[in-house]
Structure 1
Amino acid sequence: MRRQLTKRACDECISRKVKCNGSSPCDTCLKTSKEADCTYLKPPGRRGPKAKRYTSKSRSACDGSIGHAHTEEAAARTQSVENRPAIPADVHADTERDESLSSCISKTVLVYIVRLYQTFSYSVWPVVDADAVLQQLGNGTCDAQTLCLVLALCAATMAQLQLAPMAGDDGHMVDSSQLKSACMQLRERSDYRENLDVKGVLVSFFLHVYHAKINQRKSAMLFIQEAIASARLLGLDTNERNAVVTDGVVANREIVFVLLWVSERGYAMHLGVRPSYSDPIQVPDAAQLAVDPHARGLLELFSLFATFDQIREQRCRSGSLAQAVSPSSLAETEAALSLLAFNSDHQASTRLADCYITREWMRTIVWQEALSGHLLSSTATTEVMTFRFPVIVGRDLLVSLHGLSEADLLPLGRDQLLKCFEVANSLADIILHTPPSSFSSAFEFGPPDFLHALYQKILPFLEHDPMLNSILRAKTAEALVMAPARLSVGLVARLDMEEEESISQQNDRVH
């Protein structure tokens, strides 16, 4: 019979590191040549490898590290930078650990990124007063919640604008991941769930932007849903939003929930999931936003999503999928999207590009609904029900983006890149799988020209996403190769003869 293993060894067997049968006295002690006391006084040790013991000093240093607080390497790094300049030590002095947390991130870096947000990204997220933030950073009056918002804002801005790591006054390099980690550490220490305010809502939103940019889709979706839920607890989705108190760093609080609503809907459509907020949204009066044109521009983006939501509402109300995506309902939605006009007066180019790209992307989604429902026909009288509709959308997108520079498109980030890719990819598929004779010759240029121009327009952003770039590049190249040649052999011969005649006439004039 197999001998049962003991759960305890005597003190003598432990010191000699031999087996013990657990009896009193044990067999090993009885067999020893000298008399040995068989006692069981030592407390049982923990099984497994011995863990490293931290002193209170090293534990404090580990708690204060920026971005890598759960690694021993971060603890050592923090000890080496503990004397570096920090964000003002009297940052409301909530705890000594908050001061330690900010010590590795130079205030100069934060100020620089906030100014970049003010210049390039405010038109996309017009919810933070950059001047108020810069003032509080300058005089050291930031509390923990405001500092957390600044870190989240800087992490999102740095990722969205694809900024390289920056060196502070002390030479310490800071990147967006460190800013994000510092933000998440600080918000946990401040018990943000019980001390919820509008700044906490925006922290969740900017963490969503950061994770969406680095393509961590599950985290991004959870953060935007956290922002939605927090905003509802504060009443930002109702008329009670005007009673919510802010300390001046939050701008345009009337449209905070609109920004969250639009962001969640757009991202949920990318992931193919239903958004968490399904109640009718109360939109602020445009007259209240007359001072800030960027806030008014966000309302125009909201109107796009509200129009597109008609498909989802019909699908939820009707038990039949075929009824929800009937040709008439899809055609009405596409027509409503096409008729939406955007006010370009005092409107930032980035916001206009956002609206244009979103509109053409939604028209493409409507067409894809018709395609998946087997509703397309080459003889349909409605353009959206034909196979050539992506050609029209691609042309309209190119016309809309005409005159917009790379700097205008860069602040929009990966979300808009995915939308442009969807439009271009649908156009490429139609070109590759449809005979050239199916396309109308009403345009001066053909579908391959539109695809080529669209690819070149978004190429600066595709270069940061190798997978999307390789897919669209291969399809564009194949479409151009398959396209009919613009110059025939006969046309080249005729041009050659005309050139010879022109040279002969010039020689006659000389003589």
Structure 2
Amino acid sequence: MTSPTGPTQSRVPKACDPCNRRKVRCNGQQRCQQCLHLDLLCTYTENRLSRSRKHSLRRGAVISKYKNSSNNDTISKTTLTPLLSPPLAPKPSPSSLSRSSTYFESLLPDYMSYVYPFSPIITDSEVRQSIQKMDTEREHAAFIYAFTAVTLDLTRSSHSNCAKPASGPTSAPNSTQITDLMRQSVESQQPLVIGCRPSILRATTSIFIQMCAMSLGHYDLGFFYLREAISMIHMLRISDKTAQSALSRPERARRQRLYWQCFIHERFMSIVYFTPVTLPPHSQYPEEDETVEAGIQQGWTQVIKTFCMLDAAFISLWIGDRSQVSAEWVEGKHKELDDGVWEVEVSALSELQQADLVVTRQWMRTLLWQMAMSNCLLSSHASCPSLELEMPLRLSVQLRRFLTKISQNVIRVHGSAMISKLLEIVNTIADVVIHVPQATEEEIRCRIDDIVFLQGIVLSFHNLQVMPKDILLDKFRLIRGRFPHIEVAMQLAI
């Protein structure tokens, strides 16, 4: 027979394994068009037995097999895995890999009570949807592992006040468990390649991984994942009003909250770890969103307003040349922090929100005082409290008075950020007690009682790192040596 007229289509010398077994056309590229479209592992082998018609499988079975293979095996070979290399490299234990959907759902009450108010992005119904999809979609699996890690990390120190999971691989989560979940999240995530787009869910996953990394003391890793979330914010054009105008108001408000969360986390990291900032404040506070509880919206707006005080000038002076700090600038910032209207508004919020806001304000007052001290602006009779030499001692009285009125679990549930703020405050108070002893014996006794109280709170955190703990305990030893004649109700820890 003669061949048909017209151009003939060239044949590929060898099809890839998935195309061969499914009996579909392959273009023979390093990752063929079919595998790219279906997100399959594209391989080429010479095993004729596996390529024979007798051993071929149904197309659906092949797709399912290769998707499962790419989910469970190949992602661990990507360039993301080294980011969790030692000390974040232990192999996930079998128990951490066998969680059921019931277990993940059992964490939702804790998530909504202790995580969502400070990360009001993914709702409980959306978490449930991700749980249902995590076996088939990698982005949802990555989010659920990160959601589990951050919920356990923030609530494991306060089980007496939190709902315990109904079931799970272990009864008491620890750093190994959090590490395993972080690894599972990273290894489940779809790499960002051509054709893939960032999403709100993925950005939130990065933020949750950042929070866990910070809690475990892996600050560089936390910085990396925070920058990943910020990159997604830029790619989603959240600060572009024109691009966001087509969205519904709830979706637009949710994206604005995500932007502000990254802003807050970046400003905090800049102060604590002297890292540069890239996000300017958003052009507006989050819009009203009827899908979010009013108290959560009000509290979140107060957190945003508080961190907006860490403006470009504050960051520049803190991590740069502090010789430019002036008394006038310190007085201006003190007036911003000493706001009577703010105190009234915050008093109407929940204990959980109040704890975060009050401690954050006292932390900022401590930072302001340190900047004034570094430029020799302090005196014993200054017109502005932030310029007075003994200002941290008054802070200790105010902070103790507030903390005695609320549950200690409410403090601990805030995690590593709360630890950093309290450490800064307590260390500063201890320095003043040691180096500024001009006071009566009764005043010294009260000061020591205050820092002993605050010490007990700081040392109660499960994830307090060894170095800051040792520094704090060394200062307490100096106080005991400096004032051996002073007896306190609580013994300073050694």
Q: Fold match, TM over 0.5?
A: yes
Contact 1:294/1:348 (8 A) holds in 2? no
CA distance in 2, matches of 1:472, 1:169: 36
Contact 1:106/1:170 (8 A) holds in 2? no
Q: Secondary structure at the match of 2:406?
A: coil
Task: Report the alpha carbon displacement of residue 404 of structure 1 after superposing the two structures with TM.
Answer: 1.8
Name the aligned partner's letter for residue 154 of structure 2.
Answer: Q
CA distance in 2, matches of 1:298, 1:193: 34
Task: Report the alpha carbon displacement of residue 374 of structure 1 after superposing the two structures with TM.
Answer: 1.7
- Percentage identity across paired residues of the two chains: 19
Give 2:121's aligned residue. 127
Contact 2:249/2:289 (8 A) holds in 1? no
1:229 to 220, 228, 231: 231
Matches within 5 A, 1:133-282: 133-134=127-128, 137=131, 143-162=137-156, 175-188=177-190, 191=193, 194-239=196-241, 240-241=243-244, 243-244=246-247, 252-278=254-280, 281-282=283-284
Matches within 5 A, 1:22-421: 64=72, 104-134=98-128, 137=131, 143-162=137-156, 175-188=177-190, 191=193, 194-239=196-241, 240-241=243-244, 243-244=246-247, 252-278=254-280, 281-285=283-287, 291-309=293-311, 311-312=313-314, 322=323, 324-339=324-339, 340-341=342-343, 343-344=345-346, 347-421=349-423
Contact 2:103/2:165 (8 A) holds in 1? yes
CA separation of 1:254 and 1:337: change in aligned 2, threshold 3 A: same
Q: Secondary structure at the match of 1:175?
A: helix
CA distance in 2, matches of 1:202, 1:139: 17
2:432 is aligned with 1:430: yes
Q: Secondary structure at the match of 1:412?
A: coil
CA distance in 1, matches of 2:413, 2:123: 18
CA distance in 1, matches of 2:422, 2:263: 21
CA distance in 2, matches of 1:461, 1:304: 24
CA separation of 1:452 and 1:66: change in aligned 2, threshold 3 A: farther
Write the deviation string for residues 383-439 of structure 1: whole angstroms up to 9, x where unpaired: 2222211111222222232322122122211111011010000010111111233x7
Contact 2:347/2:354 (8 A) holds in 1? no
CA distance in 2, matches of 1:342, 1:161: 28
Name the aligned partner's letter for residue 176 of structure 1.
Answer: I
TM-score, normalised relative to structure 1? 0.67
Query: Which deviates the most, 359-368 or 187-196?
Result: 187-196
Long gaps (5+) in structure 2 = 1-46, 51-64, 83-90, 488-494
CA distance in 2, matches of 1:365, 1:170: 42
Task: Report the alpha carbon displacement of residue 68 of structure 1 after superposing the two structures with TM.
Answer: 7.0
CA distance in 1, matches of 2:404, 2:260: 28
Query: Which deviates the most, 347-356 or 444-453?
Result: 444-453
CA distance in 2, matches of 1:142, 1:106: 15
CA separation of 1:188 and 1:393: change in aligned 2, threshold 3 A: same
Write the deviation string for residues 319-364 of structure 1: whole angstroms up to 9, x where unpaired: 9854x41011012102211224262466232221111111111111
> What is the aligned length?
403
Per chain length, whose mean CA-contact separation is higher, i.e. which structure has more relative contact order (CA < 8 Å, sep 6+)?
2
RMSD: 4.3
CA distance in 1, matches of 2:314, 2:460: 34
Give 2:453's aligned residue. 453
Long gaps (5+) in structure 1 = 1-54, 72-76, 85-101, 488-511
Task: Report the alpha carbon displacement of residue 265 of structure 1 after superposing the two structures with TM.
Answer: 0.6
Task: Report the alpha carbon displacement of residue 144 of structure 1 after superposing the two structures with TM.
Answer: 3.2
Contact 2:106/2:165 (8 A) holds in 1? no
CA separation of 1:220 and 1:290: change in aligned 2, threshold 3 A: closer
Greater C-alpha Rg: 1
Task: Report the alpha carbon displacement of residue 112 of structure 1 after superposing the two structures with TM.
Answer: 2.6
Contact 1:123/1:348 (8 A) holds in 2? no
CA distance in 2, matches of 1:167, 1:133: 17
Name the aligned partner's letter for residue 264 of structure 1.
Answer: E
Give 1:51's aligned residue. none
CA separation of 1:388 and 1:444: change in aligned 2, threshold 3 A: closer
Contact 2:207/2:225 (8 A) holds in 1? yes
Contact 1:315/1:325 (8 A) holds in 2? yes
Contact 1:378/1:387 (8 A) holds in 2? yes
Contact 1:212/1:414 (8 A) holds in 2? yes
CA separation of 1:175 and 1:313: change in aligned 2, threshold 3 A: closer
Name the aligned partner's letter for residue 436 of structure 1.
Answer: Q
Task: Report the alpha carbon displacement of residue 136 of structure 1 after superposing the two structures with TM.
Answer: 5.3
Name the aligned partner's letter for residue 147 of structure 2.
Answer: L
